[in-house]
Amino acid sequence: MVPGAVAGGWFGLHELNSATEATSGTNAVAAATFRRVVGLTMGRAYPGDDAGRNGPRRSGIISSSPATMRAGTARGAAGCSYLDRYGALDILSEPAGIIECMFDGSSAVLVERIAAAARAENQAAGQRLAVIGELDVMRLREVGERETWCTDTQEAVTAELAAALTTTQALAASYLYYSRAMRLRLPRVGALLRAGYIDYRMFQTIVYRTDLITDPDVMAAVDAQLAAKAARWPGMTQGRLAAQVDRIVARADGDALRRRRERQAGREVSIWDSGEGLTEIFGRLITTDAHAVDARLDALAATVCAGDPRTRNQRRADAMGALAAGADRLACRCARPDCPAGATPPPVPVVIHVIAEAASLDGTAATPASMIGADALIPAELIADLARSATLRPLVHPGDAPPEANYTPSQALADFVRCRDLTCRFPGCDRPARHCDLDHTIAYADGGPTHASNLTCLCRQHHLIKTFWGWHDHQLPDGTLIWTAPSGQTYITTPGSALLFPTLCVPTGQLAPPQPTPTGSRCADRAAMMPQRRRTRAQNRTARITAERKHNRQTRQAARSGPAPPDTDDEPPPF
């Protein structure tokens, strides 16, 4: 193909030779049509069109009538035009005409519907925060903040939201945070969100960028300025949006300006499952520590003999596991009995728990395994390989076994309940079972037996929520829980193993009917048993904001040049 310059750009199609092909009547129409197609593709008019012959032109718009277009297309087809050889004729000869229908009136209707849907989405997001605020106020009026409780009113409201919205505790807490910001700090900006004039992303950014303002009058003034301007701001990137908000904040309160975080403070290590038995790791370390880890991985990767079949990168990856286990060398996989590197097995002080069917361990089944506390499954071929060096412990289903006599379940019963549940059983919680309490659904003090049909995994936070905040649960013999919220709403959670290991959810025996639930709240008579906070949320927030404002003030005074440039990378949390 011969490139031709069009409107300051390049296209990879042949240029028509005006001295030859454009001389005939048939090809002249095809040439003009072809130029329109190319001009449309480039988003502006083709400079070679004759405005006098084809009529007035506008950038990217076909000015010929549909009848003229169809006639020109037909003539081009009869003469086997240039367009026919390059496939453009099929496009232009559609019954409705793709080109001629591209800008008809129906597209305007579709665009209007898209815009209306976006406004409705914004309004729904604002209404959700407003109703969450109403629930928050109701609970505060009923019981107060209870700010010294380990599970205070904020935790209780968050638990209700997570269950009602079928979402995580963290996301529910985020909704409550932005709801309080809309009600207490940014009511005018919140009104824009409820009206649909700004989206939820913009509201989140404004809340985050104004979080350090402490003076109520200054906060009200900033809220008014943002409400007057935000609805007129065009679409912009997160960084530009943050900069616009920062300009208003900087003029009102220089100490409240969010400044660029120090790179050293942003160090982290993140681990997430990527499937197929593999996990990805991302880290940002202090340089000296990073080089120490790098050197340590190289050293461990070099402890195998030359017959090890793995590549250097594979050995370094495996060395991460050996490093986490506290091993001083990497196990060699040469399989030679006289391997010089295999004199002593590497120590393995770290224990992980994996649930797998017996057939998968010996390689006769393709059922994947599940590691307690991980999201991804472990392929059967990998679990069969791991089983050769792991300690295997059979998991016994209790069946119709009678209740145990003690409050604390035996190791076998505890293992079964944790493997059946896999996670905390409160609605919306996925905390791994190994970090959870084993809770008696019917309290042991009320006659509830220590039995698989009366035991379930609850993380400490939701264990306290159930005990002190009016939640009740009813357990079925297969492990299903029916939860009743303080508002009377009911939610059902099933054991985590129900899909992958259904045999663990075979009923464990029918117990006697549960005792009637006490009508009185446990909050009043058991408040003394609730774990207490050393510092309240309000105290923690005040200390954080005070420290950050002090740092900002010292930075401004040291620079003696006004506020630092707005941070275009410092974004609000992604939830």
DSSP 51-109: HHHH---BTTB--S-HHHHHHHHHHHHHTT-HHHHTTHHHHHT-SS-HHHHTTSHHHHH
Burial 496-506 (b: 16+ CB within 10 A, else e): bbbebbeebbe
Please, which residues bridge with residue 149 across strands?
Answer: 532
pTM over 0.75: no
Asked if the structure places residue 23 within a domain, the reply is yes
The structural domain count of the chain equals: 4
Res 237: pLDDT: 85
Helix, strand, coil distribution of the chain in percent, nearest 5: 50, 10, 40
Instruction: Report in angstroms the alpha-carbon separations of 481 from 454, 471, 476.
Output: 10, 12, 6
User: What is the C-alpha to C-alpha distance for residues 289 and 190, in angstroms, rounded to an integer?
Assistant: 45
In terms of Cβ atoms closer than 10 Å to its own Cβ (0-12, 13-18, 19+), residue 321 is: middle
Pairing relation of β-strands 377-378 and 369-371? antiparallel
Q: Residue type at 26?
A: T
What is the C-alpha to C-alpha distance for residues 486 and 234, in angstroms, rounded to an integer?
44
| pLDDT recorded at residue 216 | 94
Contact between 39 and 51 (Cβ < 8 Å): no
299 and 215 belong to one structural domain: no
- 245, 286: one domain: no
Residue ending a domain, among 348, 365, 394, is 394
State how far the Cα of 126 lies from the Cα of 203, in Å rounded to an integer. Answer: 9
Where a domain ends, among 231, 260, 289? Answer: 260
- The answer to whether the CB of 102 falls within 8 A of the CB of 54 is no
Looking at residue 299, its pLDDT comes to 84
Say whether both 285 and 192 belong to one domain.
Answer: no
List average pLDDT for each run of 10 residues in the chain, which is 575 residues long: 37 37 43 41 39 40 39 42 43 48 71 93 96 95 86 93 93 96 96 95 95 94 94 85 92 84 64 77 75 82 87 89 82 84 55 80 81 74 78 84 91 92 92 91 90 94 93 93 94 91 88 58 56 85 88 80 52 50
Gap between the Cα atoms of 227 and 222, Å rounded: 8
The pLDDT value given to residue 10: 35
Q: 405 in a domain, yes or no?
A: no
Alpha carbons 3 and 1: distance in angstroms, whole number? 6
Answer whether 203's CB lies under 8 Å from 531's CB.
no
Note whether 253 and 276 are same-domain residues: no
Residue 493 covered by a domain: yes
Considering the domain architecture, whether residues 215 and 138 belong to the same structural domain is answered as yes
Q: CB neighbours (10 Å) of residue 192?
A: 22
Q: Tell me, what's the pLDDT at 263? A: 47
In this structure, are strands 268-275 and 278-284 parallel, antiparallel, or unpaired?
Answer: antiparallel
For residue 523 the two structure tokens come to: 């909050």
Residues in the chain: 575
Residue 396 in tokens: 């016994």
Phi-psi region of 233 (alpha: psi -120 to 50; beta: other; left: phi over 0): beta
Note whether 521 and 476 are same-domain residues.
Answer: yes
Q: Which long-range contacts (CB under 8 A, 24 or more apart) does 365-370 make?
A: 367/500, 368/500, 370/422, 370/497, 370/500, 370/501
Query: Cβ contacts of residue 254 below 8 Å, gap of 6+?
Result: 552, 553, 556, 562, 563
| 301, 331: one domain | yes
In a domain, 333, yes or no: yes
The boundaries of the domain holding residue 190 are 117-260
Six-digit token pair at 376?
Answer: 């991804």
Q: How far apart are CA 88 and CA 441, in angstroms?
A: 71
The per-residue pLDDT for 113 is: 92
Check whether residue 240 and residue 192 sit in a common domain. yes
Domain for residue 278, yes or no? yes
- pLDDT at site 537: 86
If asked whether residues 458 and 509 sit together in one domain, one would say yes
The answer on 242 and 128 residing in a single domain is: yes
Tell me how far CA of residue 446 lies from CA of 439, 441, 518, in angstroms: 13, 10, 10
The residue type of 140 is L
Nearest residue to 312 (alpha-carbon basis) of 328, 297, 296, 324:
297
Looking at the fold, whether 133 and 233 belong to one and the same domain comes out as yes
- Residue 448: CB atoms within 10 Å: 21
Regarding whether 251 and 137 lie in a shared domain, the answer is yes
- 564 inside domain: no
Rg over CA atoms, the chain:
34
> H helices then E strands: how many in the chain?
21, 12
Residue 322 neighbours by CB under 8 Å, 6+ apart:
300, 329, 330, 331, 346
Of 242, 260, 278, the last residue of a domain is 260
* Residue 308 · residue 300 · CB < 8 Å: no
Show the CA angle centred on residue 257, arms to residues 188 and 558, nearest 5°: 160
> Tokens 């129409």, residue?
29
Question: How high is the pLDDT of residue 436?
Answer: 94
On whether residue 239 sits in a domain, the answer given is: yes
Contact criterion met (CB below 8 Å) for 462 and 429? yes
- Beta-sheet strands, E only, within 411-476: 437-440, 455-458, 472-475
